[in-house]
Structure 1
Amino acid sequence: MKTQFKVIVFAAAAALTMAGCAKSETAPAATTAATAASPTPDVAKVPAKEGSAALLKSVEDLKQQLDQKKVDDGKKISGKLDEVWASFEDEVKPKYPELYVKVEKYLTPVEAGLKQSTLDFTALGKLNDELVNVVKELSTSLEDNKGAVNSDAITSSKELQAATKAYNEYVQDQGKQLVTLLEQLDAAVKSGDLKKAQEAYVQARMPYERIEPVIERFAELDGVMDARVDDFKNEDDPEFTGYHRIEHILFVKKTVKDAEPFAARLLEDGKKMQQSIAATNIEATDFVTGVGELMEEAQSSKITGEEERWSGATVPVIRANVEGAQEIYTLVKDELKKKDAALDEKINKSLTAVIDQMNVLSPVGTTWNDFGKLEQSKQVDLKNKLEALAEPLVKMPGTLGQ
């Protein structure tokens, strides 16, 4: 990811940490975007215990350098941290969703801060200290085999099984909507109407983002459909296809004709994705833990504006992620209230705050306000509200498994 997309969120994380907010259970904190377009970089996977030990050593080594205010090569260390975390994070996500989000909360701003031209040793030191504590907590949980989501309890619940069935139906419906909206995008591009094509592009993003944890199961198709230009030579690389190639043509080149072959290709890939979705079945635990992945996407990756850098449609895309998480929460709400009414109330209150803020920044509809042109304080405020929502949501899987 380019540096320009990281500055705002590193600054926010640093400011909040310096003020002592990062340790508060109720105060919002900020994070930064992940550095890869895909869920995890293409690295060799290792067992979670092994990976956690390696990550702990890396952040403890970094602590020594930060304490001495002498970092050998910040960018290299940042890349190494990203690689180590990527080697085992996929195992952590479903088992320890709360700890997964905690690691992301501090790891990503540390990675971003290390890539700055001038290092803020004080802010980085405090962020990394928090990261060391979280990784120690994760390592202990893995070593003691404690604190993981109780999959057996979730699977054995008739109520949660019914909710899972309903969610599978929701996913199938989103898969069908995906094809319908990609057909509309293809038709809009062929019509030659630029404004119509731009609007159709953003609408076609919505179902994809609502079920992103399911979409990511089909990594090859996901890579073809949703890869960003950072993974290619440049915007004109023949291998660069999918949503964001079309986005560049429509919003930067401001032409429709050049988008025709890519819109047709995206539609065909979308049909393949829908077929893949139709053939899959989401299990109860994966369904419940999906909220963590959706909120991590919204509060980390999307909020930087990096994904929709050309269209500026960051708020609509974040709204789709939140809608996907909201669907999961709504389906398990009754069971959650039985287990922990206070947690349910906190989620509901935080969800309302996020939705209200998004509607103020960019009202629901076929048009949107360019996120990059919003005041920085408003961008950070939305980010903090998203994180305030993520905090109770990721407690939900563990609570339902009691």
Structure 2
Amino acid sequence: MRRHQLSPVPPARHLLAAGAVTVAAAIGIGALAVVGDSSHRPRAHPPASASAKASDGLRHTSVEVSEGGCGRGWTRGTRGKQVFDLRNTSSRPAEVYLTGATDGAVYGEVEGLGPGTSRPLSVTLGGGSYAFVCLPEDADAVTGPTVTVSGPARGGGPAALPVSQQDLIPPTLAYQKWVAGRMDELVRRTDALRSAVHCGDLTAARAAWLPAHLVYERMGAAYGAFGDADGAINGTTAGLPGGVHDPDFTGFHRLEYGLWHGESAHDLLPVADRLVKDVRGLRDDWAQARMDPADLGLRAHEIMENTVQFELTGRTDYGSGTNLATARANLDGTRAVLRRLEPLLKPRAPWLPELKSGLDRTQRTLERSHHGDHWTPLDRLSRAGRARLNADTGALVERLARVAALMDVRRTR
């Protein structure tokens, strides 16, 4: 994963679809019933009194979203799967949460509900007390009336206890400290790489390139805080008009291209010198860097998402054929983030053991391509090996999207 491949951090719930967490398609791993705003068009309002089974066989209840009437229309609770047709009757866009009235756990949410529009929210409710919370843009949150659903709580859909910015500060600081502890190794291995180039021993330089590069790749969640240094150290030719010959193509991948495409040690000296200078500058500046705590959960998902999009497609291979080694390092980077988030995940994620199993399974699949100091290039994987890799990494990315959803800081006031 690289900084220039990251867009500004979107709310994690943009990764969600109604009734399931998804990264393209819902595949039966539902976490929260959440609807984003990017794929829905305004809908005509259903009658305000609607509360009956529709053609989909589910009970539909029309619920008002406004500053003066949040939750109006829902008066009688029913267990089981059902749909709330949320109608924004106000003049402001709004977010809407269906929450547990006692603990504030979020059972479902809709964001970006425009004025005069309607959108369905599908949830499964067990026995308990619930309330809608409406959060109009540029206005205070409004909590609607409490509605009690009789019967046992079991059988209800999953819910997420919201996390606050304050909750995420300790794991973020711990992660920043972990990154700081990797910086000296990064400098040491990059120095060794440069020394081999300076000695004219390009065989040794090729052997030193991968260990140095993998140290950097394991720091995946910190790239957003690296600033321009990430592009200089680990940038690709994406967006560069001159491609591999562009003067702004620098760092590990520029050196990789030269080492595996017959460039001389003399030609690669300035590339290696610049890389060492940039790596040392990153180490020296890191003590003043500050990661946004709200980013940490999303980065846990993005590291492997970018791995699938860029490493496992070979788009970042400039000759070494080591994309699978990079993918393995990215997996280590994901684990580093999850270890810091685990105290927050444990009480919120009963599926955490499944996630850990998915990490272990993906690691075993990647390790099948590791033979001593050699990694199988992507284009030499067997068809069965490629299918297994795609399945394991794809499923893992889906599960990590749930982490992003749970660790998203939701507005509460």
Q: Secondary structure at the match of 1:312?
A: coil
Deviations 1:67-116 (A, max 9, x none): xxxxxxxxxxxxxxxxxxxxxx52425564557x988647xxxxxxxxxx
Give the equivalent residue in structure 2 for 1:330.
339
Structure 1, unaligned runs of 5 or more: 1-33, 41-88, 107-131
Amino acid at match of 1:313: T
- Out of 203, 210, 221, the residue aligned to residue 195 of structure 1 is 203
Cα deviations by residue, 1:190-238 (Å, 9 ceiling, x for unpaired): 2322222112111121132222342233442222222323424243333
> How far apart, CA to CA, are the structure 2 residues paired with 1:196 and 1:315?
21
SS in 2 for 1:305: coil
TM-score (normalizing by structure 1) = 0.62
Q: Is the 8 A contact 1:225 1:242 kept in 2?
A: yes
Change (3 A) 1:336 1:220: closer
Residue type of the alignment partner of 1:142:
E
The structure-2 alpha-carbon separation of the partners of 1:290 and 1:187, relative to structure 1 and needing over 3 Å to count, comes to same
The residue number in structure 2 matching 1:393 is 400
- Of structures 1 and 2, the larger Rg is shown by 2
Once the two structures are superposed, the pairs formed by residues 272-311 of structure 1 within 5 Å of their partners are 272-311=281-320
Distance 2:337 2:222 in 1: 13
Q: Which runs of 5+ in 2 are unaligned?
A: 26-34, 43-94, 96-109, 115-132, 136-159
Q: Distance in 2 between matches of 1:136 and 1:254?
A: 49
Whether the 8 Å CA contact 2:197–2:272 is kept in 1: the answer is yes
Partner SS for 2:374: coil
Q: Displacement, 1:185?
A: 1.1
| Structure 2 counterparts to residues 237-386 of structure 1, below 5 A | 237-253=246-262, 255-341=264-350, 343-363=351-371, 366-386=373-393
Contact 2:9–2:295 (CA<8 Å) still a contact in 1? no
SS at match of 2:247: coil
Q: Quick one: which of 152, 155, 163 aligns to 1:153?
A: 163
* 1:262 to partner: Cα distance: 0.4
- 2:212 and 2:288 map into 1 onto residues whose CA distance is 22
1:258, 1:138 → 2: CA distance?
A: 56
Shift of 1:350: 0.5
Per-residue displacement from partner, 1:245-281 (whole Å, max 9, x unpaired)? Answer: 2111111216433221100111101112223322112
Q: CA deviation at 1:323?
A: 0.8
1:155–1:285 CA contact under 8 A, matched in 2? yes
Q: Which has the higher contact order (CA 8 A, sep 6+)?
A: 1
SS in 1 for 2:368: helix
Which TM-score applies when normalising by structure 2? 0.61
Any conservation in 2 of the 1:94–1:285 contact (CA below 8 Å)? no
Counterpart CA distance in 2 for 1:37 and 1:272 is 17
The aligned counterpart of 1:209 is 217
SS at match of 1:143: strand
Letter in 1 for 2:319: W
Code of the residue aligned with 1:382 in structure 2: it is L
SS in 2 for 1:153: coil
| More strand by percentage | 2
Give, as a single letter, the amino acid of the residue that structure 1 aligns with 2:282. M
- Among 90, 96, 103, the alignment partner of 2:8 is 90
User: For the residues of structure 2 that align with 1:147 and 1:103, how far apart are their CA atoms?
Assistant: 24
Q: How big is the shift at 1:307?
A: 0.3
CA distance in 2 between partners of 1:38 and 1:171 (Å) = 20
Instruction: Give the conservation status (yes or no) of the 8 Å contact 2:36–2:111.
Output: no
Aligned: 1:38 with 2:48: no
Partner Cα separation in structure 2 for residue 278 and residue 353 of structure 1: 35
Distance 1:393 1:103 in 2: 10
SS at match of 1:394: helix
Q: Which residue number corresponds to residue 56 of structure 1?
A: none
* Separation in structure 2 between the aligned mates of residue 372 and residue 309 of structure 1, nearest angstrom: 14
Greater helix content: 1
CA distances 1:106-147 after superposition (whole Å, capped 9, x unpaired): 7xxxxxxxxxxxxxxxxxxxxxxxxx9994269994314999
Q: What is the CA deviation profile of residues 20-51 of structure 1, one whole-angstrom value per residue up to 9, with x for unaligned ones?
A: xxxxxxxxxxxxxx9x99225xxxxxxxxxxx
CA distance in 2, matches of 1:296, 1:351: 13
C-alpha distance 298-361 of structure 1, shift in aligned 2 (>3 A): same
Secondary structure of 2:272 counterpart: helix
Tell me, yes or no, if the aligned pair for 1:39 and 1:216 is still in contact at 8 Å: no
- Residue identity opposite 1:155 in structure 2: Q
Match of 1:225 in 2: 233
CA distance in 2, matches of 1:97, 1:173: 32
- Kindly provide the amino acid, as one letter, of the partner of residue 111 in structure 2: L
* Equivalent residues in 2 for 1:77-226, closer than 5 Å: 90-92=8-10, 96-98=14-16, 105=24, 135-136=38-39, 141-144=110-113, 153-157=163-167, 161-226=169-234
Whole-angstrom CA distance in 1 between matches of 2:249 and 2:392: 34
Query: Is contact 2:346-2:352 (8 Å) kept?
Result: yes
Q: Distance in 2 between matches of 1:345 and 1:198?
A: 39
